[in-house]
Amino acid sequence: MPMESVSPSIGWGVLHLLYRVDRERAEQDPGAAKRIVDAVASLEADGHHALVFAVLGHKADLGVMAYGPDLARLHAFQQELLVGPLVPDSSFVSLTELSEYSASEDDEEARLRSEEGLTDPLEIEARLVVWRERIEHYRENRLHPQLPRRKVIGFYPMSKRRQGEDNWYRLPFAARKELMAGHARIGRTYAGRVLQLITGSTGLDDWEWGVTLLTDDPVVLKDIVNEMRFDDVSARYGEFGPFYTGLVLEPRDALERVGLR
């Protein structure tokens, strides 16, 4: 019996699933790879998305990032992957979201006046029209991402620190917004070199956010995380979980890499 759809009122559900391959079971199940490939194809035919990657290092063998509008459909996909030689190693549940610290239209108008010295209301409004179009595109990509194919994926969970004087949640909102604006400026310097998707997991998993990075150059993964760690948002208030890095491949190629044919 099909499960009733469970769709977030804002954004999409996101699953990061990490597996180990049971080599003995894989040898006894020559059809496993095809079933997994078919499961991915079926998920995507239902309006959802999946990135499959071979994990570098020994934290896991195979990773799948599945995301889309229906949590029930994502759960069904998760169960389909269990019928075979994939042994669950780790997972992370989150939702796509908009940042509460994003610049508002009032912020942008104030910036145009203070930084660019604009005073003509007509000129300001013309610039705001362009800003509204850009921010709408940005928000759509945050909530309903269409992730481009890149060669390398990096993923890690994180939370904001709550200890002593370094308690993020005791800071006034204005102070937090100013800190996050500086953090975001660093991220924007990597535009075109890395795609960043921040998903929210507060109340859904053990950490508060998941960070997914996609790039063609693994050096960029190291550089962006290293540079951001010197910013107060990370250096003073950030707590980080395990990092996973993988090679994004077509599902069949990723499965062959980890010994499933």
> What are the tens digits of pLDDT across the range 46-88?
999 999 999 999 999 999 999 999 999 999 999 999 988 999 9
* Average pLDDT over every residue of 4-9: 96
pLDDT in tens, 87-135: 999 999 999 999 999 888 999 999 999 999 999 999 999 999 999 999 9
Tokens of residue 100, six digits: 């509460």
Do strands 152-160 and 162-163 pair parallel, antiparallel, or not at all (unpaired)? unpaired
* Average pLDDT over every residue of 25-54: 96
Q: For residue 32, give the CATH number of its domain.
A: 3.30.70.1030
pLDDT in tens, 155-181: 999 999 999 999 999 999 999 999 999
pLDDT in tens, 188-233: 899 999 999 999 999 999 999 999 999 999 999 999 999 999 999 9
Q: What is the pLDDT of residue 241?
A: 97
Is the confidence at residue 4, as pLDDT, over 90? yes
Number of domains in the chain: 1
**Contact status, residue 89 vs residue 30, Cβ threshold 8 Å:** no
Q: What is the pLDDT of residue 84?
A: 84
* Average pLDDT over every residue of 1-20: 93
Q: How far is CA 179 from the centre of its chain?
A: 21
Indicate the residue type of 41: A
Whether residue 109 is contained in a domain is answered as no
Whether residue 175 is contained in a domain is answered as no
Whether residue 230 is contained in a domain is answered as no
Whether residue 133 is contained in a domain is answered as no
Whether residue 46 is contained in a domain is answered as yes
Tokens of residue 194, six digits: 């890395």
Which one from 19, 101, 138, 156 is the annotated catalytic residue?
156
* Average pLDDT over every residue of 240-258: 97
Tokens of residue 208, six digits: 């508060």
Is the confidence at residue 261, as pLDDT, over 70? yes
Q: What is the pLDDT of residue 65?
A: 98
Q: What is the 3-state secondary structure (H, E, C) of the chain?
A: CCCCCCCCCCCCEEEEEEEEECHHHHHCCCCHHHHHHHHHHHHHHCCCEEEEEEECCCCCCEEEEEEECCHHHHHHHHHHCCCCCEEEEEEEEEEECCCCCCCCHHHHHHHHHHCCCCCCHHHHHHHHHHHHHHHHHHHHHHHCCCCCCCCEEEEEEEEECEECCEEHHHCCHHHHHHHHHHHHHHHHCCCCCEEEEEEECCCCCCCCEEEEEEECCHHHHHHHHHHHHCCHHHHCCEEECCCEEEEEECHHHHHHHCCCC
Whether residue 253 is contained in a domain is answered as yes
Give yes or no: 156 in active site. Answer: yes
Between the alpha carbon of residue 183 and those of residues 35, 102, 141, the distances in Å are 42, 12, 19
Q: What is the pLDDT of residue 1?
A: 56
Structural domain boundaries, residue 81: 13-97+249-257
pTM score of the predicted model: 0.93
Higher-scoring residue by pLDDT: 251, 30:
251
Whether residue 172 is contained in a domain is answered as no
Q: What is the pLDDT of residue 103?
A: 86
Q: What is the pLDDT of residue 97?
A: 97
Whether residue 53 is contained in a domain is answered as yes
Is the confidence at residue 3, as pLDDT, over 60? yes
